[in-house]
């Protein structure tokens, strides 16, 4: 909670007492339960929790895809209830357009804004270069690996220069080594742009490797269990994974997560046995 | 409970919309028929079509011709299926033969089969045999392609499981290949049946002295429009029912 | 080089060799009197008849007639079918109510109704075109709905996160995403259209390539009939291959 006291930097994003319930009558499920935290300008915050902690719901609320919720997600004084131009979203699933080349994918948001062709190619080129795909501009997504496609999606989101980069487990489908290396790329870009970033994840090492702060969520209903400051030095690389401090943070957060994850596991096992009993 | 209630309301809407569309079509039809804009009986009143339908279904001539066409179609399907499934299994099991011959089956399948009818007449005469041959030929392609594709689509892991349990060839065929290929084979049969019905009937319209296709041409020459509509509707319903029946078994 | 080519292409070469061998066997059987030459003419006669059929039977005019019917019927089914499919996709109620009916229409043996169309439209190309159109419509509608409905939800979410308007959403995300499936529908549809048009031409003895077969058969010109059939089959195979090529070409990188 100490981090919340530190109000010296301006809050870019305020999540204030957000509640989201699904269903009606007796089958009501509270996915997000009185969640509050802030993301400061230039800060990298991760939200971590087991499956079923409501983190994807939170992602959709902050992204404005889920307008109907209680409480407030605020950018400045504006409460978000629809997609906001200041928020750029990167989705968990592969989301490149298969009918567009890499550069046309990345230039897509600029095309919607009516930016002139030469300028949008220049700007797209800049961000493709930044994610390290300069030699693949003319390739179609089908010619790229999973990790490269996610980098295209990230470049496509960065190109419209959102104030807040919002990512939902963008590396979930990738193997561990690729994930660590892409983490380096993300850290590098974030430091270069001083990009305010909110990452939704269930991966502990990824969260510790990338974040300034980590919001730990409880299993259903999703509440904030704890907020942990990660005081690892910056600039940071994936080498940090080997350090004692890193191991200490991982162990500390795992302590919190273990209980939540086992509750989630018990829940899904009892649901499975109910299904089996009903035949 | 709430969800179930919601679905039934939506199904009721679907039913209502279907009824509405049917009513609009029937109404428009009846209006066209009474408007006098069309020559003669081209668009007969629904009542007349209904009366013809009843007359047709009570007429022994209809059943005699139906029997001929049904028999021709069944034989055509049996021959086409026998040849098609065998070919499909061979092409599906052997990569060499697949590359050698499947292109011919694949690219010949979407050609107009009816133009082979003159050749079938030369080979098998003007009787039912030429219609059966044409129907069998049409059914063959769909069934062979579907069987070959089904053979190749079997999950390799199932075959490895079978091998790991040391199943012999017979056991592999009965316990693994056949159950895994039931759906594609039945789908091939459904498609084959569809084209067999069409080609047999078309053959009958072109040259024959019995069968439902022949009956179509008889009614057409008499210019009995309500009768023609009635017969075509009956044929569509029969073809649709057969299609739906095989489709029902082809479902997982 | 030559050796590796032979080895790599062995199956295809085997297929062609089998074809050539069976033609030669027939030639021998017919010439040897084992097979009646009034049932199957010698393949060499059929080959020679090709020239006669092409020169004397106005083959170019016939191809043109069939092609014009094809273009009108096929074009109309795309122009009508894609918008209907898009409208059905927009309303889930209409879609649920009508999809089965359209599927039934696609499977129904409508070509049998040619005597009806003859009465309605006369013994003219109009009949052939309308029948082609009716056969070509259902696959395009069904595939358009399927293509639009199979747009991955995450791509729609990308559109929503970028605050796209409904029309931008349709033209920049839904439609391009559906295009490969729609083109599959067009390929199926145009294949049906060609089969129907040639078939009806044959059945009612009018117009293009279908009538050619009918005339040759009625003249009892055996080698000519076989040659004519081979020619029409080749034309439809070429048409089908061309459609497949265009389909592949329209989908770069997929």
Tell me the chain C residues in contact with residue A93 when contact means C-beta distances shorter than 8 Å.
Answer: 152, 154
Examine the pLDDT at C178 and tell me if it is beyond 90: yes
In DSSP notation, C11-67 reads HHHHHHHHHHHHHHHHHHHHHTTSS-TTTS--HHHHHHHHHHHHHHTTHHHHHHHHH
The pTM of this model reads 0.84
A vs C, Cβ pairs < 8 A, gives 60
Contact A99 C162 (CB under 8 A): no
Of the listed ranges A15-29, A36-50, A150-164, B77-91, the least confidently predicted one is A15-29
- Phi first, then psi: give them for residue A131, nearest 5 degrees: -85, 5
CA distances from B117 to A94, B21, C213 (A): 52, 39, 10
Q: How confident is the model at residue B169 (pLDDT cuts 50, 70, 90)?
A: confident
Contact A99 C252 (CB under 8 A): yes
Q: Which residues on neighbouring strands pair with residue A19, listed in sequence order?
A: A70
- Phi first, then psi, for residue A40 (nearest 5°) are -85, 160
- pLDDT for position A158: 93
Contacts of B24 (CB under 8 A, 6+ apart): none
Nearest Cα residue to B247 out of C106, A164, A172? C106
Average pLDDT over residues B72-92: 94
SS3 label, residue A136: helix
The H or E element containing residue C177 is helix C175-204
User: Does A64 reach chain C within 8 Å, measured CB to CB?
Assistant: yes
Residue C16 distance to chain B (closest CA, Å): 8
Q: Is the pLDDT of residue B2 over 60?
A: no
How does the average pLDDT of chain C come out, rounded? 90
The 10 Å CB-count burial string (b at 16+, else e) for C46-69 is: beebbeebeeebebeebbebbbeb
Question: What average pLDDT does this structure show over C68-90?
Answer: 95
Residue with tokens 């011919």: B104
User: What residues of B are in contact with residue A25 (Cβ under 8 Å)?
Assistant: 2
For chain B, how far is it from start to end, CA to CA, in angstroms? 27
Q: Out of C25-39, C69-83, C148-162, C180-194, pick the least confident.
A: C25-39
The reported pLDDT for the residue numbered A8 is: 44
Higher pLDDT, B166 or B238: B238
Q: How far apart are CA B104 and CA C112, in angstroms?
A: 28
Confidence class for position A106, pLDDT limits 50, 70, 90: very high
Supply angle C-alpha B30, B35, B41, rounded to 5: 70
Residues A65 and A87: their CA atoms lie apart, in Å, by 11
Contact B101 C18 (CB under 8 A): yes
pLDDT of residue B178: 81
Question: SS3 of A17, please?
Answer: strand
Please tell me the predicted confidence (pLDDT) of residue A1: 40
Nearest CA to CA, how far is A68 from chain B (Å)? 21
In the CATH hierarchy, which top-level class contains the domain B53-249? mainly alpha
pLDDT tops 70 at residue B40: no
Cβ atoms of A196 and A13 within 8 Å: the answer is yes
Distance from CA of B243 to the nearest CA of C (A): 8
Residue identified by tokens 């075959």 is B159
Please list every residue in chain B whose beta carbon sits closer than 8 Å to the beta carbon of residue C39: 122-123
Token digits of residue A273: 């046995």
pLDDT beyond 70 at B4? no
Q: Which residues of A touch C173 (CB under 8 A)?
A: 97
Q: Is the minimum CB–CB distance between C252 and chain A shorter than 8 Å? A: yes
**Cβ count within 10 A of residue A209:** 26
Q: Is the pLDDT of residue C68 over 60?
A: yes
Q: pLDDT value at position C84?
A: 95
User: Using H for helix, E for strand and C for coil, what is the string for chain B?
Assistant: CHHHHHHHHHHHHHHHHHHHHHHHHHHHHHHHHHHCCCCCCCCCCHHHHHHHHHHHHHCHHHHHHHHHHHHHHHHHHHHHHHHHHHHHHHHHHCHHHHHHHHHHHHHHCCCCHHHHHHHHHHHHCCCHHHHHHHHHHHHHHHHHHHHHHHHHHCCHHHHHHHHHCCCCHHHHHHHHHHHHHHHHHHHHHHHHHHHHHHHHHHHHHHCCCCCHHHHHHHHHHHCCHHHHHHHHHHHHHHHHHHHHHHHHHCCC
Point out the residue among C104, C195, C202 whose CB comes nearest to the CB of B110: C195
Give residue A222's region: left, alpha or beta (phi > 0; psi -120 to 50): beta
- When pLDDT is averaged across residues C46-74 and rounded to a whole number, the result is 90
- Pairwise pLDDT comparison (A7 vs C97), residue with the higher score: C97
Position A6 scores a pLDDT of 45
Distance between start and end Cα atoms, chain C: 31
How far, in Å, CA of C251 to CA of C254, rounded?
A: 6
- Residues whose CB is less than 8 angstroms from the CB of residue A68 and which lie 6 or more positions away in sequence, other chains included: A81
Among residues B149, B153, B246, which one has the least CA distance to residue B192?
A: B246
Strand arrangement, sheet containing A87-90 = A87-90, A164-168, A196-201, A44-48, A213-217, A224-229
Domain of residue C79 covers 58-152+178-249
Interface contact B7, partner C, CB < 8 A:
no
List the chains bordering chain B where 3 or more Cβ pairs fall under 8 Å: A, C
**Cβ atoms of A90 and A154 closer than 8 Å:** yes
Using CA atoms, how far residue B39 sits from A203, A209, B35, in Å, is 76, 82, 11
pLDDT of residue B9: 55
pLDDT at residue number A119: 94
* Chain B CB contacts of A26 below 8 Å: none
Mention every residue, 6+ apart, whose C-beta is less than 8 A from residue A208. Answer: A214, A230, A232, A246, A249, A250, A253
Q: Is C162 on the interface with A (CB under 8 A)?
A: yes
Q: CA of C33, closest CA in chain B: separation in Å? A: 16
Are the C-beta atoms of A25 and A77 separated by less than 8 Å? no
* Beta carbons of B134 and B200 less than 8 angstroms apart: yes
Q: Which fold has domain A1-86+163-263?
A: Rossmann fold (3.40.50)
**Total structural domains in chain C?**
1
- Per-residue pLDDT reduced to its tens digit, C84-114: 999 999 988 888 889 888 988 888 888 999 9
CA of residue A261 relative to chain centroid, distance: 19
Query: What mean pLDDT comes out for the span A58-81?
Result: 91
Q: How far is CA A185 from the centre of its chain?
A: 15
Here the tokens at position B120 are: 């079938």
Instruction: Indicate whether B6 pLDDT > 70.
Output: no
Percent of chain A with pLDDT over 90: 52
For every residue of A148-214, which 3-state class applies, written as one string? HHHHHHHHHHHCCCCCEEEEECCCCCCCHHHHHHHHHHHHHHHHHHCCEEEEEECCHHHHHHHCCEE
The answer to whether the beta carbons of residues A34 and A5 sit under 8 Å apart is no
Q: Which of B119, B198, B236 sits opposite C229 (nearest CB)?
A: B119
- Tell me the CATH number at C142: 1.10.3720.10
Residue C39 CA to residue C48 CA, distance in Å, equals: 17
Residue C169 sits at the vertex; the CA angle it makes with C165 and C175, to the nearest 5 degrees, is: 150
pLDDT tens digits, residue range A125-142? 999 999 989 999 999 999
Distance from A88 to chain C by nearest Cα, in Å? 7
The A residues from 9 to 28 touching B (CB cutoff 8 Å) are 24-25, 27
End-to-end CA distance of chain A: 47
Question: Can you read off the two tokens belonging to residue A80?
Answer: 């978000």
Contact yes or no for B150/B184 (Cβ under 8 A): yes
As a whole number of angstroms, the distance between CA B53 and CA B63 comes to 13
Q: What is the mean pLDDT of residues C189-204?
A: 93
Distances (CA, A) of B102 to A81, A153, B147, C5, C239: 57, 41, 12, 20, 18
* Residue C184, pLDDT above cutoff 70: yes
Helix/strand number for chain A, H first, E second: 9, 10
pLDDT surpasses 90 at A200: yes
- Is C154 within 8 Å of A141 when comparing Cβ atoms? no
Summarize pLDDT for A153-190 with one digit per residue, the tens: 999 999 989 999 999 998 888 888 888 888 888 898 89
The backbone torsions φ and ψ at residue A237, rounded to the nearest 5 degrees and listed phi first, read -130, 180
* B53, pLDDT greater than 80: yes
Against chain A, the chains showing at least 3 CB pairs within 8 Å are B, C
Residue B140 has pLDDT above 50, yes or no: yes
Question: Nearest C-alpha of chain C: how many angstroms from A183?
Answer: 22
Distance, in Å, from the CA atom of B200 to the CA atom of B124, rounded to the nearest integer, reads 14
């Amino acid at each position: 909670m100490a981090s919340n006291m530190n109000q010296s930097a301006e809050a870019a994003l305020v999540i204030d007492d957000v509640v989201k319930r699904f269903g009606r009558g007796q089958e009501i499920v509270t996915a997000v339960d009185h969640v509050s935290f802030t993301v400061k300008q230039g800060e990298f915050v991760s939200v971590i929790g087991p499956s079923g902690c409501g983190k994807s719901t939170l992602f959709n609320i902050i992204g404005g895809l889920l307008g109907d919720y209680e409480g407030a997600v605020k950018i400045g004084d504006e409460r978000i209830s629809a997609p906001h131009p200041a928020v750029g979203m990167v989705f968990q699933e592969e989301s490149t357009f298969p009918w567009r080349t890499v550069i046309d994918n990345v230039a897509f948001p600029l095309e919607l804004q009516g930016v002139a062709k030469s300028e949008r190619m220049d700007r797209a080129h800049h961000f493709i270069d930044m994610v390290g795909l300069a030699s693949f501009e003319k390739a179609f997504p089908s010619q790229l690996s999973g990790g490269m496609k996610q980098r295209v999606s990230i470049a496509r989101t960065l190109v419209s220069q959102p104030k807040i980069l919002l990512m939902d487990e963008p590396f979930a489908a990738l193997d561990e080594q690729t994930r660590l290396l892409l983490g380096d790329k993300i850290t590098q870009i974030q430091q270069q742009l001083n990009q305010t970033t909110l990452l939704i994840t269930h991966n502990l090492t990824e969260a510790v490797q990338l974040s300034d702060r980590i919001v730990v969520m409880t299993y259903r209903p999703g509440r904030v269990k704890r907020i942990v400051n990660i005081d690892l030095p910056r600039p940071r690389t994936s080498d940090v994974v080997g350090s004692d401090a890193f191991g200490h943070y991982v162990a500390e957060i795992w302590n919190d997560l273990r209980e939540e994850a086992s509750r989630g596991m018990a829940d899904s096992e009892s649901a499975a046995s109910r299904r089996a009993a009903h035949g | 409970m709430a969800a179930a209630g919601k679905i039934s309301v939506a199904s009721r809407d679907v039913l209502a919309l279907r009824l509405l569309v049917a009513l609009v079509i029937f109404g428009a039809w009846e209006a066209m028929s009474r408007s006098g804009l069309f020559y003669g009986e081209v668009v007969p009143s629904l009542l007349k079509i209904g009366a013809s339908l009843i007359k047709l279904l009570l007429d022994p001539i209809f059943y005699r011709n139906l029997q001929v066409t049904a028999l021709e179609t069944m034989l055509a399907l049996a021959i086409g299926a026998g040849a098609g499934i065998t070919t499909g299994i061979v092409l599906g099991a052997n990569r060499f033969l697949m590359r050698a011959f499947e292109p011919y089956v694949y690219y010949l399948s979407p050609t107009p089969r009816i133009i082979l009818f003159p050749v079938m007449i030369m080979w098998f005469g003007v009787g039912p045999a030429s219609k059966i041959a044409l129907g069998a030929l049409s059914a063959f392609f769909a069934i062979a392609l579907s069987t070959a594709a089904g053979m190749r689509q079997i999950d390799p892991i199932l075959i490895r499981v079978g091998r790991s349990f040391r199943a012999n060839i017979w056991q592999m065929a009965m316990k693994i290949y056949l159950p895994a290929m039931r759906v594609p084979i039945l789908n091939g049969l459904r498609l084959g049946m569809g084209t067999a019905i069409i080609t047999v009937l078309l053959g009958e319209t072109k040259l024959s002295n019995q069968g439902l296709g022949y009956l179509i041409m008889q009614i057409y020459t008499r210019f009995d429009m309500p009768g023609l509509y009635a017969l075509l509707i009956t044929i569509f319903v029969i073809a649709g029912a057969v299609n739906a029946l095989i489709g029902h078994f082809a479902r997982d | 080089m030559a050796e590796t080519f032979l080895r790599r292409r062995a199956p295809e070469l085997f297929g062609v060799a089998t074809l050539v061998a069976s033609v030669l066997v027939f030639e021998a059987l017919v010439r040897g009197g084992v097979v009646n030459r009034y049932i199957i003419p010698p393949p060499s006669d059929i080959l020679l008849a090709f020239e006669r059929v092409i020169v004397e039977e106005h083959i170019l005019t016939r191809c043109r007639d069939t092609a014009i019917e094809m273009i009108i019927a096929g074009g109309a089914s795309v122009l009508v079918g894609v918008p209907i499919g898009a409208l059905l996709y927009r309303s889930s109620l209409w879609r649920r109510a009508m999809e089965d009916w359209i599927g039934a229409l696609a499977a129904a043996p409508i070509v049998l109704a040619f005597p009806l169309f003859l009465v309605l439209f006369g013994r003219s190309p109009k009949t052939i075109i309308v029948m082609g159109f009716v056969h070509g419509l259902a696959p395009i509608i069904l595939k358009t709905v399927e293509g639009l409905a199979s747009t991955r939800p995450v791509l729609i979410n990308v559109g929503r996160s970028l605050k796209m308007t409904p029309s931008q959403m349709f033209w920049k995300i839904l439609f391009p995403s559906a295009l490969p499936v729609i083109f599959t529908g067009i390929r199926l549809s145009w294949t049906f259209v060609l089969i129907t048009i040639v078939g009806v031409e044959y059945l009612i003895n009018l117009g293009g390539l279908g009538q050619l077969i009918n005339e040759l058969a009625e003249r009892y010109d055996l080698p000519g009939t076989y040659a004519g059939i081979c020619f029409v089959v080749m034309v439809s195979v070429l048409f089908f291959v061309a459609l497949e090529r265009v389909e592949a070409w329209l989908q770069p990188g997929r």
